[in-house]
Amino acid sequence: MSSISIATVNVNGIRAAVRRGMPAWLEQRNPDVLALQEVRADDATLTGLLEESLGGGWHVAHVEPTDAGSKGRAGVAVATRLPVGEQRTTIAERFDGTGRWVELDVETPASPSGVVTVVSVYIHSGEAGTPKQDDKMAFLDAVRARMTALHATAAAGGPQAVVCGDLNIAHTERDIKNWKGNLKKAGFLPEERAYLDAWAAQGWVDVARHLAGPVDGPYSWWSWRGQAFDRDTGWRIDAHWVTPGLAERVTACQVDRAATYAERFSDHAPVVATFTDDDGDRQIP
């Protein structure tokens, strides 16, 4: 029996994350697949970081933002040293150039078909009652359409899929410390959360919630400001949503929360899910 680990983290700028100590985390964790959001760098910089920390041999699917509204603050990537197949970057023509969606087919026995489509997504933060929120909702429509297609492919015996990244949506009251104070704010609006309800109804599984059960958190984002990190006043907005065939093989999901505020390399903590190639007796309700 073997396993693979898939890590997702919003680095809030790869150069800044490197300065703050990300290479030490990479070397210690050494994930098989790494999904990144808000890369804010070019291919050479990203690949160079991986090679300096973990050696060569990386396949990197990376989308840099090119439009004026996203350049310098977005960018997503999937990196692995496992064998790979196709990569895809278009989710909807409207969002070409925004650097918010990338897919990479990765060969692994942890998927029943031998291939898992790994998606790194960076959903807009939004702002209630503004055009920014309109963009977020339109992007969520595009995500829903693509996830429907990915789910259908998996159900037909094709590659299983994992959609991971910074969703910028806390799904339930368990996923945000101060939920009462955010009921009318982007990130916890009912119309946003309804999309995640629809994913679950379709059969997608939120790995961390499935394993943790009905507990508060575990949070993955805390503001840099005030005492949010020390008081664990956070949001669980970084996640792995997987198709049913892959969900049956998940064995663990951990938030790599820094020991102290000073040791954080991003305002997001990495979230790492582990999958086995053994179906075992795990059942998804």
Distance CA 32, CA 252 (A): 14
* Residue 205 CB contacts under 8 Å (≥ 6 apart), including other chains: 241, 242, 243, 244, 247, 250, 284
Alpha carbons within 13 angstroms on the beta-carbon side of residue 104 total 26
240 is a catalytic site residue: no
Active site residue 166: yes
267 is in an annotated binding site: yes
Q: Does residue 268 have an active-site annotation?
A: yes
Question: 12 a known binding residue?
Answer: no
Residue 163, H or E segment = strand 160-166
Nearest to 95 by CA among 152, 143, 153: 143
Backbone angles phi, psi at 189, to 5 degrees: -75, 140
- Identified catalytic residue from 122, 219, 238, 240: 122
Confirm or deny that 168 is annotated as ligand binding: yes
User: Burial of 169 by CB count in 10 Å (0-12 exposed, 13-18 middle, 19+ buried)?
Assistant: buried
User: Does the annotation list 268 as a binding residue?
Assistant: yes
Residue 282, H or E segment? none
Q: Which of 62, 171, 240, 268 is catalytic?
A: 268
Catalytic residue among 105, 166, 175, 206: 166
- Residues belonging to the binding site are 10, 38, 166, 168, 267-268
- Residues belonging to the binding site for Mg(2+) are 10, 38, 166, 168, 267-268
Annotated catalytic sites, by residue?
Answer: 122, 166, 268
